[in-house]
Amino acid sequence: MTREKSSYAVQTVEKALDILETLTDESRHATLPYLAEKLDLSRNKAFRLLATLESKGLVERDEASGVYRLGISSVELAQRLLNSTSLIRHAHPIMERLARKHDEAVYIAVLKGDEVLFLDMVDCEQAIKTAPLVGRRFPFFSNAAGKAIRALESTDLLDRFLKKRGRNGGPFDPATLQQELKAVREHGVAVDFDGLGEGIVSVAVAVRDYAGKVIGALTMLGPSFRMMASRMENEIIPSLREGAEILSMKFGYAKL
């Protein structure tokens, strides 16, 4: 019985993906009857699949013609995938140069909701170093990358987050976080101590695209005994700023 349900679920997903693929190739005549016939589905099943995709914003239906087309969520999903892929491709050579220059681990990270996702990494050759974080997610307020990104986003988003955390409780003081993010906006760099583990320091600078939107953060991690204040101020932070500026330029950002 379990196998039958699993098989049915997979087939349903496949048919939903078939619908999206069809709408990508041809949407001028993509009415319910057309899609049902093309994909060998009953009209009832095609309608249920389309209704589910529509509820998620993945497809849209023109009320006048009954024609379905890809929804804004599909476009946004594709754009995020392209941005993540190109972000890694453009960032990696810059990360390699930073890692070689300072012999510390360098990451590119993005914000996913209220969490930071570490997308890619170039490790250092130090005997003592942090554990790899690629693919891992952390609350944005627990590390420099999250603070560097969130500090430059809409204040409305931050206010909603703080109100939500205020209701649910959280391991930070909202007023202190507000002050930290204000300092990040003023200085263009975020520094966090112990948020990713005891004795770990993270430093990050935001990366922007052609519209000035923050798309990620270049981040360097290291143990506190190597990430001393003078070294960060005179060496690491200037390098990260330069790297983030070069990477932003690759996405069309022009600093005014």
pLDDT in tens, 128-163: 988 889 888 999 999 999 999 999 876 666 666 666
Q: Which residues pair with 222 in a beta bridge?
A: 201
Residue 170: pLDDT above 50?
A: yes
Whether this model's pTM surpasses 0.85: no
Q: CA 213 to CA 149: how far, in whole Å?
A: 10
Q: Which residue has the tokens 């987050």?
A: 161
Q: How much of the chain is helix, strand and coil, in % rounded to 5?
A: 55, 20, 30
Evaluated on CA atoms 245, 251, 252, 256, the torsion sign reads negative
- The pLDDT of residue 176 is 84
Q: What's residue 6's pLDDT? A: 46
237, 202 Cβ separation under 8 angstroms: no
- Return the pLDDT at 84: 65
Residue 85: burial class (beta carbons within 10 Å; 0-12, 13-18, 19+): exposed
Contacts of 248 (CB under 8 A, 6+ apart): 207, 208, 209, 255
| Paired strand residues for 118 | 109
Q: How far is CA 220 from CA 84, 103, 166, in A?
A: 19, 10, 30
Q: Is the pLDDT of residue 1 over 70?
A: no
Rama region for 14: left / alpha / beta (φ>0; ψ in -120 to 50; rest): alpha
Please state which of the ranges 14-18, 184-188, 201-205 shows the lowest mean pLDDT: 14-18
Residue 238 pLDDT > 60, yes or no?
yes
Count each helix (H run) and each strand (E run) in the chain, helices first. 9, 8
Secondary structure element (H or E) that encloses residue 214, with its range: strand 214-223
Q: Which residue has the higher pLDDT, 114 or 221?
A: 221
Calculate mean pLDDT across residues 203-228: 94
**What mean pLDDT do residues 181-194 have?**
94
pLDDT, average across residues 207-214 = 91
Q: Which helix (H) or strand (E) holds 5?
A: helix 2-25
Helix axes 155-168, 174-187, angle to 10 degrees: 160
